[in-house]
Amino acid sequence: MARLLHNLLLLTVGLTLKIRVMGYWSLIYGYCALCTGVALLKLGWNIILRPSTTFQWTVRETPPACLNDTSLGTHCYVRIKESGLRFHYVAAGERGKPLMLFLHGFPEFWFSWRHQLREFKSEFRVVAVDMRGYGESDLPSSTESYRLDYLVTDIKDIVEYLGYNRCFLVGHDWGGIIAWLCAIHYPEMVTKLIVLNSPHPCVFTDYALHHPSQMLKSSYYFFFQLPYFPELMLSINDFKALKSLFTSRSTGISCKGRWLTTEELEAYLHALSQPGALTGALNYFRNVFSVLPLSQSEVKSPVLLLWGERDAFLEQDMAEACRLYIRNHFRLNIISGASHWLQQDQPDIVNTLIWTFIKEGEGRKNYRNL
């Protein structure tokens, strides 16, 4: 009788798990279909309004001068033996000084860290990487090549090939996700973790599933699961959607004095207009649902989390919830009036807060608003 009850319990648990998994994927694909319908309506409206220009876009062949600004550092390359991939990075500061490694988000590249490269090169070997599939780094063709475990291993390998075993790791957006995961899986490698507008992956998953407003803001995650169509929608009207991300009132950089110049915007379009560039960037999203939730989640490194109050894509409540997963000193700063593009929007404040965090001891947990 006891064995029968035990078998029934196992069967019930297994069935419940299968139902939850089916529900999870049904939600993803259902929302994906909804987002696709909305995108098709937008495409149709664009064709009606701009029939002659909708399907026109220009590949930027020549990099703008700002990408060769010597004050930002030296352009370098490293080939990782294990993966066979070549990575591009910009480095400044003396070799042998502590390594500060910067990981960009979507749809960015190393250039998004220009203000921090100038600021921290006096005391650090600063390195801003073009992550796998971005900028001048290699662009694997298969979607499978952008699994999270590969992306995390890339960073570990880059640190080692630069001649270091530890670093101050700084990440924004998708770079923040990879930075969180590096700190979780390779705690000995991360001296201190600094994350900008990117919640702990477990926080994001749980919060989005329980807050429809965040699910709506994250609708692009579902739309990007489709092949080819998202690339088309980001390219039409000469990459109008990409331009809007950085420049519109709702999603763009908030601080008027920090709006992207025409040349700086062209730098982004130069990187993202290259053949295959958008597919590489979107492939990050196309692997994310297969690895969540995480089997490991604790962060043992000291953490600074910086959050732009006016982030159009991520709700602020997730920032405080990250505290649950950190087993060390945690400092959270909410920056008033700042957008999602925090290190470009409010670089002076961001740089000051990073300096303070780097130099302070690992005392009691701290929280304050700016």
Amino acid present at 47: I
What pLDDT is attached to residue 5? 59
pLDDT digits (tens, 9 = 90+) for 314-349: 999 999 999 999 999 999 999 999 999 999 999 999
**238 touches 58 (CB < 8 A):** yes
pLDDT beyond 90 at 45: no
**Mean pLDDT value across residues 284-302:** 87
Confidence check: pLDDT of 33 > 80: no
Q: What is the average per-residue pLDDT within 205-215?
A: 93
**Mean pLDDT score, 136-153:** 96
Q: What is the pLDDT of residue 172?
A: 98
Question: 78-84: long-range contacts at Cβ-Cβ below 8 A with a sequence spacing of 24 or more?
Answer: 78/158, 78/161, 78/162, 80/154, 80/157, 80/158, 80/161, 82/153, 82/157, 83/150, 83/153, 83/154, 83/157
51: pLDDT strictly greater than 50: yes
In angstroms, the CA 254 to CA 190 distance is: 31
Compute CA 369 distance to the chain's CA centroid, rounded to the nearest angstrom. 23
Global pTM value: 0.89
Closest CA to 85 of 165, 161, 171, 199: 161
Q: With a cut of 50, say whether residue 181 has pLDDT above it.
A: yes
Task: Provide mean pLDDT across the span 279-287.
Answer: 97
Q: Model confidence at 363, in pLDDT bands (50, 70, 90)?
A: very low
Other C-beta atoms closer than 10 Å to the C-beta of 185 total 16
Residue 38: the pLDDT is 78
Coil, helix or strand at residue 297: coil
pLDDT in the model for residue 44? 86
Residue 280 has pLDDT above 70, yes or no: yes
Residues 83-95: tens digit of each pLDDT: 999 999 999 999 9
